[in-house]
Structures are given as structure tokens and as C-alpha cells.
Amino acid sequence: MKRLILCLWGLLAVPAADAMEVRQFDDPAKQERYETLIKDVRCLVCQNQSLAESDAELAKDLRTEVYNIIQSGKSSEEAVQFLTDRYGDFVLYRPPFKSITLLLWLGPFLLLAGGAVFLWKQARRRAEPSGKEEALSADERRRLQQLKDRFQG
Amino acid sequence: MIAEFGHIALVMALLMALLQGTFPLMGASQGVSIWMSVAKPAGRAQFLFLLASFGALTACFVNNDFSVEYVARNSNSALPLYYRIAAVWGSHEGSMLLWATILGLWTAAVTVFSRSLSEDFLARVLGVMGLVSVGILLFILYTSNPFERLAPAPPDGNDLNPLLQDFGMTVHPPMLYMGYVGLSVAFAFAIAALLGGSLDSAWARWSRPWTLVAWTFLTGGITLGSWWAYYELGWGGWWFWDPVENASFMPWLVATALIHSLAVTEKRGAFKTWTVLLAIFAFSLSLLGTFLVRSGVLTSVHAFASDPTRGLFILILLAIVVGGSLLVYTLKAPGVRDVARYSLVSKENLLLLNNILLVTASASILLGTLYPLILDALKLGKISVGPPYFGAVFAPLMAPIFLLAGIGPMFAWRESSIGRILHRVRYLFPASFAAGVALAALAWNEADFKMMAGLGCAFWLAASALLSLWTRLRLREGWLEGLRAQSPSVYGMTAAHLGAAVFLVGAVLSDRLSQEKLVRMAPGDSVTLSGYSFHFLGTETLQGPNFSAQQATFRVERDGKSLELKPQKRNYKVQRNMMTEAAIDPGLTRDLYVALGEPLDKNAWSVRLYVKPFIRWIWAGGLFMIAGGLLSVSDRRYRLPLREARAVPGQAAAARAS
Amino acid sequence: MRFAIPLAVFVLLVILLGVGLTLDPREVPSPLIGKPAPAFSLPEVAAADRTLSLDRLKGQVFLLNVWASWCVSCRQEHPVLVDFAKRGIVPIYGLNYKDTRDDALAWLKRFGDPYRASAFDEDGKMGIDWGVYGVPETFLVDQHGVIRYKHTGPVTPEDLENKILPLIRELQGAA
């Protein structure tokens, strides 16, 4: 949310939401692909904005390139290839899945698996009787169960 | 003169913080009562000095004293008074002073609401807070003094960033800082309990209200920030997964986990070492956020303060505060006795699962935020991690939380029967998801899996939260009697869980059903979007106090009803910034949103039109959660002195003896 | 032991952040380094009827400097380039990025012209092909037309002496 401020404070006097050139497509599907794509590409000038949002000159030029590629009937992948050939993976907000991003993509699930193991071990340890619980008489145990039943329905 | 007075007050506050951070801690470890008694007066004096310092800076802004560099950079004589006051925290130096002042406020609050705390515990809590304050104040005085003079003084100031000249942005930082800094109280309680060996149920009960209040502020701050981004940036988006936003979201997730974990520690004396670790994490993530935002290590936050000495200073501060507290944890945690026993299916384990999911979510955001830095540091290349990544990773981690939050309260402590609970929800569960599918298909003719699953999840969460409440009510003779018998915290919990459901509805529906159009419009043109026809009537020129604006008028019609929207394009004179002021017609089921782009030829403009169904529900969810937090805090139990409060059998005494 | 895990992770984090402070997050490394320079063929700034193309430049080590009359920091690096051109170690070519011919010529007249020739890239297409994202930028290209090094931002005399010159010597020695 503060990315525009930062852009404003630090680097360039870039106004908000000015990146608004109107583009004509011969096919609504192309327009949708174009709009989805430029939202997932990072602008290199005002680096806190996507290509869709940035008002920088370069962003406009790159949008034109992407527009031409999509409008000429080529795939989104070809447009992405065009951008990464020139600017590298940096422009992709969705990092490609490869060896150096392996931990990035799998990390959350490894963490979750680690958490699950921790939970399981903890639960097993805690489920063992500690031997310190006061023994309940049969009558007490029955009354306890009644209360529980009532609560849980 | 006022600036110098403010500077001196800041130095005095540092001296008070030093007193507060040293004698009470030494006194507590040596058992010297008179040293411990320094804590309260020093803490209160520190707060008064900070207040004076903050007041002095505010006075400089109100008086347009442009000989103060910070004022000259962030204000202007044409700036309205209200924004001149808000400009105090409009940039790095002043916002750090706000941070410190709020820490002073929390410190003073602890000195007031501490009747039930034992002498040495209070001394340790205030001592830890004093040490944190020492670090922050040194940081301000050495690297970011807002009272620095400028010679010669410029005739007028550089004005406040136009994006900040807005109500939402004036309230958002104080609210957010109340949350961030409020977590320092739970942190100080945790360290004090570790140091004093009093990690028990009483500690958890004392921590709970403080954590809840901080969490409520944090929720409010994030909700406000999201709302502001929505209407002020002109993009119609409400969350961007920007590192700055992530910096606020990570502590929120951990604080949410902490609230739940504290409940277990209070009620059952379990999870002690885990809870104390969460309390340390929550505040550490706040500090880490401060570092990320102000050090320049991440691009997104590059410009807040790109002075490398500041970055290094905060890093050292972070290393001392967090490293020191984790060291205390490493040394003291192994000695904590935890004898609680519970079976596999129990509320304890369910809450632990909740904690693991929330902490994993928070850690994943941290991973995504820092991963580009890791690769760069290892010279493996540069990548960007943005919204597509977070969206892909976050949804699967959050889904189980939404599924379990509602039925969680139905589980019993110690031992619970999963069969009974499943039996209770045997109709509700399929019905919720069927309703989600049916609604998506019938009302919006959508067969999108994400939308159906999201709606189903939301219905299920809301229904099961209400069912849990109903189960409690039925325990009493009549349901009216039941309503009265519940403690406010039960209603608070229900409200917060309902808030999550309301948020989910908003997030899912606005994401899936939003319509947008970018068009060229000349006066007289009409465009139809989602059944609404937007007529562009024309533009006029307006003069604001420090800006001039082009204001367009749109008439929006549907089903014979019509309304007018007046978006603006503002030109701020001093900073020469063009700003888009979107015009929004808010509604319970949809927002209409118009933003002006660029003027084109012949009075025509490029215009962005949006229809955003149910987007208000996102922030309404936030409001529900805030209400939940406030209700829970109002629980009388927290305000009773310890001896009168319901004693927790067994655990507390056992732990204290260890 | 397990209670020390958070501390250990945190120590690693602090080291990472400390290293992070020394890095510039804005700098984007070019994927073109070690790859053949993208072909171009554009009119020269000085004369619209003459064409500057990659083929003409091949066979020598050269610097390609991206500049524009509207670029403020270009002014800062310009004297460095003018001095360096006088030493005659390698030819410097210019890529005049999104400029007007009149402005560009006036600028060269005023501040000096270190370039053998400058390509006139009015619409910025060549700039995009070369991955330009912030003017000024400087590329070092070897005899075979392969891009060896890229410097983003104004070149300082230190950058020239410590990074660019040693690389040039190495490339020229290899020939």
C-alpha cells in the first residue's frame, strides 16, 4: 500500500494510477491475457509497481511491446520470454520454479510438515498419563462423563 | 526555541528510560525493593517527557517553523491545520518519535493497570520496556533527530506528500503503531516471566488483555491501511503483498496465534514455552518490520530512509533486543515445568494446530519477503516475489484455519470426542458447502471452484461459530439465561470468527466478480459495465487549499435509479504531483468506482470504471474482528486483582513452585 | 537443545540482513552478459543519413554508453567519459535514448562529445533490446560482439579504473 509513497519519496515523482492508455484488441480473450500478464510483471523503474500500474516511460514502452506481441496472436509465454530475455527473472512477480527457487516454493510446505511432526510428537508426549492425576472414583467418573455429554451434546 | 525544548525533552526521556531499564531489573534480581520502586515513576516521567517532545514537534508544525528541517521537508504554509498536525508522523523522523511516544504511552498504561502484579514482576516488565525504549531513543537522537535546524530557514516548506493528505492515512500510522508497540507489553511480560521463573497461568492471564488490545489496534491499523490503499491509490485493489504490508501482516498472524495460545496457558497451564516464544516472536516481527521498512534492504521500502547508518543502527538494535530475548529463552526455557496432560483429540491440540498453521503462514510470508535478499546475498541472481506467489502459498495454509475456527470452540479441554462433534455438524457441514455452490451457481452463474469453495468455507465458518455459541447457550435453563451467563469473551470470540467469515466472503466475491473497464470518454459518452451505465457529463476546474483540480461528473444509472460520482485529478502545487482522487459509491453489495486517468484530445479522458461486488465486506470483517477484540477485553475477569480472580486449580501453583 | 533453535535461526537472519545492507536492491543484473549483443541498425545522431549498426562495431572491444539530454545523472558522468575518450584506450559509442536530435546535438556541443558515433534510438526499441531500464548505462562489448559487463548508473572514475579498465585490458590481451 505504501509502494507509491516510496516511489514518490525516493525516486521519481510518479503520480498514482496514471498508467491509463486505452488499447484496442481484436479479441476480448487477448485483452484479458494482456491485462493479466502486465499485472504480474514488475516495472523496472518504479520497482514497487507492476507494469500495469506504473507510469514510467519504460513501463509504457514495455506495455506497448507486450500489447504488440499479444495482439499479433502470440502466447503469453512468448511475451514473458521477450521480457526475461532482456531483463531477467527480476521482472516476474511469480518466480519461475527452478533449482534456486526450490526452497521458496517448497519452503512453506516443509515448514508445515515440520509443524505437523512437532504437533504429533507433542501430542503423543502429552497424551501419556502423568501419574499425578488424582484418581477418580467410579461415581465421579460417571458424573464427569455426564457433564461432558451435556456440553458436547 | 520550541524545537530545542523538544530536543531536550527527548534527551530527558532517554535518561528516564535508562533509569527505568537498569535499577528495576537489578533490584528484581537482587531483591532490593527500593531499586524496584524506581520503575513506576521513571516510566511515567519518561512518558511525560516524550509527550512534551512530541508536543514540541507538533507545535513546530502548527507554527510553520520552517527553520526545523523536518518541518520544512514535510509541511507548507498552505497545508490545512489538520494535515499539518498529521504531517508530524508523515515521514521517517517524526514517525519514529510517534513510535517512541506510543511506547511511552503503553509503559504508562502498564504502571496504571498493574495493581495485581507482584513487585518484582512489575519491575522486570517495566525494566524490559525501558531497555527497548533506550534503544529506540538512541536511534532517534543519533540518526533521526526531527528537531534538526536548517540554516538559513527556507521561506516555505516542501509540503506533505499528497498521498498522505487524506483522512485514512492520518489515522492509519498511529493505529498501526499502537498495535506494533503494544506487542512490546506481551513481550516484556514474557521476558519478565522467564527471568523471574514465574511462567504460569497467572502470567498468561495478565498478558491476555494487553495482547488483545494490541491485536485489536493492529487489526484496525491493517484494515485502515487496506481501505486507504483501495480508495486513494486509484487501482481498486485492497492488498498488494508489498513488503511494507507484509511487515504488518506477519506480526498480526503471530499475535493471532498468541491470543489462542495464551488461552491454553491460562486455562490449562500448557504450552508455556511455546506461548512465551510466540510473545517474543510477535514483537520481534514488529521490530523486524521496522528494520525492513527503514533500512533500504528491500526495494519496496527503499525510500523511507536510505541512510545506511540508520539501517545498521536498527539492525544492531534488533540483534540486541531479539537476540538477547532469545538467549534468555534458550537459557530459561529448559527449566520450565509443564505437567499438563491432554489426549490426542482435545481443544489443546486443536489450538496447537491453529498455532502451527498461523505461524507457518507468517513464516512463509517472511520467506517470500526475504528470499530475493537471500539469493542476492549468495550471488545467485535477482528475482522478485510478488502477489502471485503469496496468493498461491497462502490460500492452502489458510483454508484449514477457516475450516477449524468455527468448530474449535466445541472441543472440550483435555479430552474430546470427535465422533460427537462430527455428529453435531453432520447436516451443517454439507449444507454450508451446498449453499456455497448453489449461491455461486444460481446468483452469479459461476462454476468457479475457488469461488464455490471460498463461499462454502465462509458459510461453514459462520454457521459453526454460531452453533458453538448455541451449544454454550443451551447449557443454561433458558436461552435468555444462557445469553446472560456467557462472558463477554465468548461473544468476542464469536464476533472475531464471524469477522473472518465476512472477510472471506468479501475477498472471494470481489476477487471473482469485479468488473473493470479502461475507456476513452468524452463529455456526452456513456459506457455500460455490469448493468450500470456511466454517463460522462463533463469536467470543471476547482481550487483546493494547496492544489487545483479537474473534477469530472459522471451520472450512473441502473433500473431507473441514478447517482452522481465526481472523481478528481489534483495537481498539488508545491510538490507538482498529479493525484488521482477516485469517486466511490459504497454499498453493501457493490461499490461503484470511477478514477480519472489522463486528459486526451478534445476534452476526452481515459477513465477507469470498476464495479466491485461485496468489497466492503473485507473491511467489515476487520470491524467484526475489532469488535471481537474489544468485547473480549471488556471481560470483567481481567480487571479483578489476582486474589479475587477465579483461581486456576493446580497448574499455577505447580508452576510457581518449580 | 531444541530451545536454542530460534536463537540459531535468528543469528542467521541477522547475518543475512547485515549482508543485505551492503547490497543495492534496485540494481538488476542483465541476463545479456556473456551473450552476443542484440543486433541494431539505427541512424546516427550527428547525421540522419548515416547508419550505425552492430556489424560496423564488431571486431573491436568497445564501450556502449546509453545517454540522453533529459537525463540528469548523465551530466554527472559525462566529464568522466570525455576524459576517458581522450586516452584512446577503447572507442566509446553512444546510444542516445528517447531524445530529440536537436536536444542531443546541443547537449554534445555544450558538454563535449566523447562518442565515435551515437545511435539515435528515438522510440527506445533498441534500449529495450539491450535491457536498458535506467539511463545512464554502460556496456562493455568484446571483439566477438559479446557483452562482457554492464554498469548501471553514472560511471565514476573509480568504477572506470577498478572495474572497467582491468576488464578491457584482459579482453584486449586475449585478442
Average pLDDT, consecutive stretches of 10 residues, N- to C-terminus, chain A (153 residues): 36 41 84 88 83 84 91 91 92 91 94 93 79 64 77 56
In the numeric block, which cell numbers belong to residue C121? 534510438
Q: β-strands C92-97, C118-121: how paired?
A: parallel
Nearest to C25 among B281, B298, B326 (CB): B298
CA–CA distances in Å: residue B548 to residues B541, B544, B571, B579, C175:
7, 6, 5, 10, 63
A70 Cα to chain B: minimum distance (Å): 18
Q: How confident is the model at residue B631 (pLDDT cuts 50, 70, 90)?
A: very high
pLDDT at A2: 38
Whether the link from the prior residue into B400 is cis, omega within 30° of 0, is no
Residues of A in contact with B229 (CB under 8 A): 1
Q: How confident is the model at residue B293 (pLDDT cuts 50, 70, 90)?
A: confident
pLDDT at A152: 57
Residue C43 touches chain A, beta carbons under 8 Å: no
C-alpha dihedral (A46, A50, A55, A60), degrees to nearest 10: 110
Residue B438 touches chain A, beta carbons under 8 Å: no
In the numeric block, which cell numbers belong to residue B193? 516471566
Of the spans A18-27, B242-251, B287-296, which averages the highest pLDDT? B242-251
Q: β-strands C137-141, B568-572: how paired?
A: unpaired
pLDDT at B40: 93
Which candidate, A17, A129, A54, places its Cα nearest to that of B606?
A17
Beta-carbon separation of B356 and A119 below 8 A:
yes
Q: How far is CA B209 from the centre of its chain?
A: 16
Q: Which residue has the higher pLDDT, B594 or A45?
A: B594
Beta-carbon separation of C26 and A90 below 8 A:
no
pLDDT at A134: 56
Mutate to test the interface with A, among C2, C133, C147 (most CBs of A within 10 A): C133
Element counts in chain A: helices (H) and strands (E): 6, 0
d(CA B105, CA B320): 23
d(CA B366, CA B552): 43
End-to-end CA distance of chain A: 47
d(CA B492, CA B209): 12
Q: Which residue has the higher pLDDT, C55 or B298?
A: C55
Long-range pairs for C156-165: beta carbons < 8 A, 24 or more residues apart: C156/C77, C156/C80, C157/C80, C157/C83, C160/C80, C160/C84, C164/C63, C164/C138, C164/C140, C165/C89
Instruction: Give the count of beta carbons closer than 10 Å to the beta carbon of residue B409.
Output: 19
Residues of C in contact with B299 (CB under 8 A): 25-26
Q: How confident is the model at residue B502 (pLDDT cuts 50, 70, 90)?
A: very high
- SS3 of residue B448 by DSSP: coil
Please, which residues have CB within 8 angstroms of residue A43's CB and are 6 or more apart in sequence? A49, A50, A51, A53, A54, A56, A58, A59, A62
Q: Tell me: the pLDDT tens digits for B97-151?
A: 999 999 999 999 999 988 888 889 999 999 999 999 999 999 999 998 999 998 8
Neighbours, chain B (3 or more CB pairs < 8 A): A, C
pTM for the structure as a whole: 0.90
Give the percent of chain B with pLDDT over 70: 96
d(CA B17, CA B131): 7
Judged against a pLDDT cut of 70, whether residue B641 lies above it is answered with: no
Please say whether the beta carbons of B611 and B602 come within 8 A: no
Beta-carbon separation of B342 and A6 below 8 A:
no
Kindly report which listed range (A143-152, B236-245, B274-283, B509-518) carries the lowest average pLDDT score: A143-152
Q: Which residue has the higher pLDDT, B56 or C170?
A: B56
As beta bridge partners, residue A77 has: none
Please say whether the beta carbons of B536 and B524 come within 8 A: yes
Judged against a pLDDT cut of 90, whether residue B9 lies above it is answered with: yes
Kindly report which listed range (B76-90, B442-456, C80-94) carries the lowest average pLDDT score: B442-456
Please say whether the beta carbons of B170 and B163 come within 8 A: no
Which candidate, A76, A116, A112, A103, places its Cα nearest to that of A92?
A76
- DSSP result, B38-63: THHHHHHHHHHHHHHHHHHHHHHHHT
Judged against a pLDDT cut of 50, whether residue B291 lies above it is answered with: yes
d(CA B647, CA C4): 33
Alpha helix ranges (H) inside B144-236: 167-196, 201-232
Helices B39-62 and B92-112: angle between axes, nearest 10 degrees: 140
pLDDT at C138: 93
Please, which residues have CB within 8 angstroms of residue B72's CB and are 6 or more apart in sequence? B66, B150, B153, B154, B157, B158
Residues of B in contact with C33 (CB under 8 A): none
Mutate to test the interface with A, among C23, C128, C150 (most CBs of A within 10 A): C128
Q: β-strands C92-97, C62-67: how paired?
A: parallel
Element counts in chain B: helices (H) and strands (E): 21, 10
Beta-carbon separation of B371 and A104 below 8 A:
yes
pLDDT at B645: 43
Judged against a pLDDT cut of 80, whether residue B187 lies above it is answered with: yes
Beta-carbon separation of B235 and A13 below 8 A:
no
B393-398 average pLDDT score: 90
Mutate to test the interface with C, among A46, A49, A86 (most CBs of C within 10 A): A86
* Amino acid residing at A70: I
* Amino acid residing at C157: P
Residues of B in contact with A126 (CB under 8 A): 270, 340-342, 348-349
Please say whether the beta carbons of B50 and B101 come within 8 A: yes
- A window 54-113, beta carbon within 8 A of B: 88-95, 100-101, 103-105, 107-108, 111-112
* Amino acid residing at C70: W
Nearest to B327 among C7, C16, C23 (CB): C7
Give chain B's radius of gyration (CA, Å).
27
d(CA C96, CA C127): 9
- SS3 of residue B563 by DSSP: strand
DSSP state of B13: H
> Cell numbers 493492529 label which residue?
B218
B365 Cα to chain A: minimum distance (Å): 9
- SS3 of residue A59 by DSSP: helix
pLDDT at B268: 87
DSSP state of A14: P
Q: Tell me: the pLDDT tens digits for C131-152?
A: 998 889 999 999 888 999 999 8
A to C CB pairs, distance under 8 Å:
39
Please say whether the beta carbons of B244 and A5 come within 8 A: no
Q: β-strands B583-585, B590-599: how paired?
A: antiparallel
Mutate to test the interface with B, among C1, C2, C5, C7 (most CBs of B within 10 A): C7
Q: How confident is the model at residue B655 (pLDDT cuts 50, 70, 90)?
A: very low
C-alpha dihedral (C126, C128, C131, C137), degrees to nearest 10: 60
Beta-carbon separation of A57 and C124 below 8 A:
yes
Residue B320 touches chain C, beta carbons under 8 Å: no
pLDDT at A7: 38
Beta-carbon separation of B348 and A16 below 8 A:
no
Nearest to A58 among C29, C130, C133 (CB): C133
Give the percent of chain B with pLDDT over 90: 58
Residue B70 touches chain A, beta carbons under 8 Å: no
Q: Tell me: the pLDDT tens digits for B22-68?
A: 999 999 999 889 999 999 999 999 999 999 999 999 999 999 999 99
Mutate to test the interface with C, among B307, B310, B330, B332 (most CBs of C within 10 A): B330
CA–CA distances in Å: residue B520 to residues B323, B524, B526:
57, 12, 10
Give chain C's radius of gyration (CA, Å).
20
Residue C131 touches chain A, beta carbons under 8 Å: yes
End-to-end CA distance of chain C: 59
Q: Tell me: the pLDDT tens digits for B569-586?
A: 988 888 777 888 899 999
Nearest to C133 among A45, A84, A85 (CB): A45
B259-274 average pLDDT score: 90
Q: Tell me: the pLDDT tens digits for B423-477?
A: 888 888 999 999 999 888 888 877 788 889 999 999 999 999 999 888 888 877 7
Which candidate, B89, B109, B90, places its Cα nearest to that of B99?
B89
Residues of A in contact with C130 (CB under 8 A): 86
C7 Cα to chain A: minimum distance (Å): 17
For chain B, what is the mean pLDDT?
88
Beta-carbon separation of A87 and C131 below 8 A:
yes
